[in-house]
Amino acid sequence: MRQIILESLTRQSRGLALLRDLLEEEYRSLLSRKTDEIASLEFSIQELIRQLAVEKSLVNKSLGGCKVVDYASMLPEEQALPLKALFQNIDESEQYVSRLASRNAQLSLALLDQSTRTLNALTGYALPPKANTYGRKGGMNFIPRPEAALISGRL
């Protein structure tokens, strides 16, 4: 059982290293606005996260709900050290990858917001002004209100 857990943790560690590289590549693609690359990277990232979740559930199932650190503390010292080191490496990698994913999400939302504002501004420039803004005599047109003015508090 220790060998199965050790191999799964090794795969998780390598998978997180690959995920880090993919997220850094996605960030560079976001900065250069290469949408085709971003879409393909996103599919790869999602598949890798799915595989990492399967590996994590394998370890949980193998340990019967026990934590890796608790399991490692029950083993002799020479067998426990590699498990503890791998678990520490995985924990640090998960935190780092989480920060990278947050950075990418913030950048993509900022780019979306910027694109939306630019599109709204260009649309505002392209649309003709309302034709009935001014009357024939040059003054503002009266806009009738369908609700009663006295009931709503306006005179």
CATH number of the CATH domain containing 78? 1.20.58
Distance between CA atoms of 44 and 49, rounded to whole angstroms?
Answer: 9
- pLDDT of residue 71 exceeding 90: no
In a domain? residue 145 = no
pLDDT for 134 equals: 55
Comparing 130 with 48, the larger pLDDT belongs to 48
pLDDT for 97 equals: 97
In a domain? residue 136 = no
In a domain? residue 140 = no
pTM of the model: 0.74
In a domain? residue 138 = no
In a domain? residue 43 = yes
Task: Please report which confidence band the pLDDT of residue 152 belongs to, taking 50, 70 and 90 as the band edges.
Answer: low
How many domains are contained in the chain? 1
CA pseudo-torsion sign 145, 146, 152, 155: positive
- pLDDT of residue 151 exceeding 60: no
Q: Which domain holds residue 91?
A: 2-126
In a domain? residue 143 = no
Helix, strand, coil % (nearest 5) of the chain? 75, 0, 25
In a domain? residue 142 = no
Comparing 136 with 62, the larger pLDDT belongs to 62
User: Which token pair is 111?
Assistant: 């780019």
pLDDT for 147 equals: 63
Listed range (37-41, 92-96, 104-108, 144-148) with the worst mean pLDDT:
144-148
Q: Which residues touch 2 (CB under 8 Å, ≥6 apart)?
A: 75, 79, 83
In a domain? residue 131 = no
